[in-house]
A and B are shown apart, each in its own frame.
Chain A
């Protein structure tokens, strides 16, 4: 199914952000009917490259060729005009509007009014040709995540895309929904579409692509043809540039229950809560993972444990004592360390200096302040200590926190919590968007905490991460805990079924 005329060529693309080389001399070729996997770790340059292709960024050097002819792409309108469509990791849909209204954005109307009939007809044609179907008047807010992604793909087809870029599309899907996506991708490729599939998940890339391009630190390291002899291990090493050694997880004696949630209902309204009677336990010396497709209540659960969201019902027990009035102060005082999912929105105040952020949760206590008066020296000394301990790369304690890289921000958040020796550490999406070195460091800290007899609750959408770290894996679906599986018995299949809402007993 391979034609020899490349529909897309990127030649010598270079892009810098300040001192960082995001892309350097990148070449890429895509044919009709091709499914090209773009593999690399977080920070390898894959998304930057695609953003250049889609017109969000301008390359510093290099050219883009469509059907062999060089073209200029200054913004997304140009990209769309050249037949390039992109499905971003975070969807760009208007929840309040209908499917049809989301499709008609940016389109010319008929006689100055919206051409609903024409749009509906085009939608029906896409459904017939590619099997991607959605009712036009449905408000987007009523669609499932999988259906919203389908809408994003339809949007690209609606605008006549011949090249489709999918940026980490499976992050938000259950294993079963992912199979549906792969089926759709094959159907698109069969019709001559060129597909670029960006991922850092090795087994997915092996499954669906016919060619693989690997990037590391802004450079293309290899381009190879996908075949049966290609292994995950090989791909992983090509991706990271070294041998992958899974971290050691020695057996640790599990002790008392440090955190217990009993029938917690929270979020939404008391009649229709987001979390529905959730119960779970974290013991000393264990890492409990929480798996689930994003949007199934993980956020609310994290907020309840963090003390930000008071529950409608149920009980929270920390080290045997029931918490009467759950609040951030109470939860902190009893020994819960918290690293939120949204580092720069919820965890840190990016416009403040690093030293201010390092003491943020405890600035009202000694040694940082006495009787309401701050001790700036103590604050800065503390910040300096933690920077050294955690090898955080920063020019000093006075830098604007927002200038730190993702990995360093995560280290700072972790340092902030671990300095107070928490009983239980709650983390959400700990290694999302950070480089391999920082991710390894973070994982080591977790295992270290576990070895010292503390407990951890790790909420993650990355199943591989959970399998590596955790002793037990709980699965959340639509606000309920579907089941908890010891990691020795956990497989992608049984966890995936729970993630999709199938209880073990009913299966």
Chain B
């Protein structure tokens, strides 16, 4: 226990925690939009991986990191639209469609990486994003470096949460989205196009997941590797459940998970605790399952989640 506390209060722990939370925030909020519109987007892991690859490649060849982000965004939007085609236009099983998307996107990521970069002795890397210090605020003792000297995308991720809350609860589009997710027929008879809303939600969802993936390859690390996502996408599915489909709580869940992840990394490195490091690697997944079991009973899922919308049925 002492060791845990020692690690937590070490310099840089909370800064690391926020960095680790960033891709989770992007992907979780992305998934949130999709699920609030009634579609479970299981393509998340594949989208993150493929976008990490396209983002990295674009950045590598153009020399511009932001161009890489743009490429990743485009990838995510296309993937989201494909998910929309399968689940909204064709009304296919959301579970299997998402899995198919993940399999395909992952395969494409590996394939195109090899086509583009071949198998050089030294894996290609880029000059990753550097932290951007916000003047004045980053000078505040203690919290300054933690909160205000982070990558630009970290600020975006954090701001994403209140923006999402605003969009969902205070804008007409957000109300339409939530209505589509609860009762598509209610939205349809009010003149809202259920299909359009779901496509928009899925494309937005893909875009956000893509930025999360790109962050991994371009900020957190400085290269694309086959294991750059390693199951984080799947964890975000669970984080949406933890967060009870509410943006603030989802963010909280992401930070909690990042806290445990950061702790686990440091405990590994300090080698004080005599447990195989793989146990720490599995811990987040075990916790996810336990928490899902505890929370699922009272799940406040959108009522129309997983139900395809067909007009003729009343």
Q: Do chains A and B touch in the complex (CB under 8 A)?
A: yes
A interface with B by C-beta (< 8 Å): 54, 56-57, 75-77, 79-81, 86, 88-90, 92-97, 101-102, 104-109, 112-114, 155, 159
Known A-B contacts A88-B314, A90-B314; the reply to A77 vs B171 at CB < 8 A is no
A105 touches B311 (CB 8 A): no
B182: chain A residues within 8 A (beta carbon):
94-97
A114: chain B residues within 8 A (beta carbon):
170-172, 175
B183: chain A residues within 8 A (beta carbon):
92-94
Known A-B contacts A97-B178, A102-B186, A107-B172; the reply to A80 vs B314 at CB < 8 A is no
Bound Cα distance from A52 to B137, whole angstroms:
61
B97 nearest CB across to chain A (Å): 19
B172: chain A residues within 8 A (beta carbon):
104, 107-109, 112-114
A112: chain B residues within 8 A (beta carbon):
171-172
A368 nearest CB across to chain B (Å): 30
B176: chain A residues within 8 A (beta carbon):
105-106
B178 touches A76 (CB 8 A): no
Task: Bits for B288-314, please: 1 = Cβ < 8 Å to A, else 0.
Answer: 000000000000000100000001101
B312 nearest CB across to chain A (Å): 8
B205 nearest CB across to chain A (Å): 21
B175 touches A88 (CB 8 A): no
> How many residues in B have their beta carbons less than 8 Å from beta carbons of A?
22
Determine if B227 is an interface residue (Cβ-Cβ < 8 Å): no
B311 nearest CB neighbor, chain A only: A56
B172 nearest CB neighbor, chain A only: A109
Tell me what chain B mostly uses at the interface: helix, strand, loop, or mixed. helix
B171 touches A105 (CB 8 A): no
Which of A54, A88, A105, A155 is in CB contact (< 8 Å) with B192?
A: A105
Which of A57, A76, A95, A109 is in CB contact (< 8 Å) with B189?
A: A76
B233 nearest CB across to chain A (Å): 28
Determine if B193 is an interface residue (Cβ-Cβ < 8 Å): yes
Shortest 8 CB-CB distances between A and B: which pairs?
Answer: A77-B191, A106-B190, A92-B186, A109-B172, A105-B190, A94-B182, A106-B191, A106-B192
Further 15 A-B residue pairs, CB within 8 A, beyond A77-B193, A89-B314:
A77-B191, A77-B192, A81-B191, A88-B314, A90-B314, A92-B185, A92-B188, A93-B186, A94-B182, A94-B183, A106-B187, A108-B172, A112-B172, A114-B172, A159-B191
15 residue pairs from A and B, CB less than 8 Å apart: A54-B189, A76-B189, A77-B191, A77-B192, A86-B189, A88-B189, A88-B314, A90-B314, A92-B185, A92-B189, A95-B303, A97-B182, A106-B176, A106-B187, A113-B170
Which of B175, B193, B312 is in CB contact (< 8 Å) with A105?
A: B175
Determine if B22 is an interface residue (Cβ-Cβ < 8 Å): no
B175: chain A residues within 8 A (beta carbon):
101, 104-105, 114
A256 nearest CB across to chain B (Å): 43
A85 nearest CB neighbor, chain B only: B189
Determine if B28 is an interface residue (Cβ-Cβ < 8 Å): no
B179 touches A76 (CB 8 A): no
Bound Cα distance from A92 to B313, whole angstroms:
12
Instruction: Give residues 16-42 of B contacting A (CB, 8 Å).
Output: none
A75 touches B170 (CB 8 A): no
A113: chain B residues within 8 A (beta carbon):
170-172
B187 nearest CB neighbor, chain A only: A105
Bound Cα distance from A79 to B314, whole angstroms:
18
Bound Cα distance from A159 to B192, whole angstroms:
13
A76 touches B186 (CB 8 A): no
A75 touches B190 (CB 8 A): no
Bound Cα distance from A86 to B190, whole angstroms:
10
A86 nearest CB neighbor, chain B only: B189
Task: Bits for B162-179, please: 1 = Cβ < 8 Å to A, else 0.
Answer: 000000001110011011
A111 nearest CB neighbor, chain B only: B171
B186: chain A residues within 8 A (beta carbon):
92-94, 102, 105
Bound Cα distance from A108 to B191, whole angstroms:
12
A90 nearest CB across to chain B (Å): 6
B314: chain A residues within 8 A (beta carbon):
88-90
A110 nearest CB neighbor, chain B only: B172
Residue of B179, B182, B189 with most chain A CB atoms under a 10 A cut-off: B189
Bound Cα distance from A93 to B185, whole angstroms:
8
A102 nearest CB neighbor, chain B only: B186
B163 nearest CB across to chain A (Å): 12
Bound Cα distance from A86 to B186, whole angstroms:
12
Bound Cα distance from A56 to B183, whole angstroms:
16
Bound Cα distance from A105 to B178, whole angstroms:
9
A88: chain B residues within 8 A (beta carbon):
189, 314
Bound Cα distance from A92 to B311, whole angstroms:
13
Bound Cα distance from A92 to B191, whole angstroms:
12
Bound Cα distance from A155 to B192, whole angstroms:
14
Task: Bits for B193-236, please: 1 = Cβ < 8 Å to A, else 0.
Answer: 10000000000000000000000000000000000000000000
A322 nearest CB across to chain B (Å): 33
A108: chain B residues within 8 A (beta carbon):
172
A109 touches B171 (CB 8 A): yes
B188 nearest CB neighbor, chain A only: A76
A116 nearest CB neighbor, chain B only: B170
Bound Cα distance from A96 to B186, whole angstroms:
12
B187: chain A residues within 8 A (beta carbon):
105-106
Bound Cα distance from A445 to B8, whole angstroms:
76
Bound Cα distance from A104 to B311, whole angstroms:
22
Bound Cα distance from A88 to B189, whole angstroms:
9
B14 nearest CB across to chain A (Å): 34
A104: chain B residues within 8 A (beta carbon):
172, 175
A87 nearest CB neighbor, chain B only: B189
Bound Cα distance from A139 to B193, whole angstroms:
24
B191 touches A80 (CB 8 A): yes
A86: chain B residues within 8 A (beta carbon):
189
B193 touches A94 (CB 8 A): no
Residue of B187, B188, B191, B311 with most chain A CB atoms under a 10 A cut-off: B191
B179 touches A94 (CB 8 A): yes
A97: chain B residues within 8 A (beta carbon):
178-179, 182
A57: chain B residues within 8 A (beta carbon):
312
B311: chain A residues within 8 A (beta carbon):
56
B190 touches A155 (CB 8 A): yes
A102: chain B residues within 8 A (beta carbon):
179, 186
B174 nearest CB neighbor, chain A only: A114
Instruction: Give residues 128-169 of B contacting A (CB, 8 Å).
Output: none
A54: chain B residues within 8 A (beta carbon):
189
Residue of B182, B183, B312 with most chain A CB atoms under a 10 A cut-off: B183
A91 nearest CB neighbor, chain B only: B186
A283 nearest CB across to chain B (Å): 38
Residue of A79, A80, A101, A113 with most chain B CB atoms under a 10 A cut-off: A113
Bound Cα distance from A112 to B167, whole angstroms:
9
A106 nearest CB neighbor, chain B only: B190
Bound Cα distance from A279 to B245, whole angstroms:
43
Residue of A80, A102, A105, A112 with most chain B CB atoms under a 10 A cut-off: A105
A59 nearest CB across to chain B (Å): 15
Bound Cα distance from A57 to B188, whole angstroms:
13
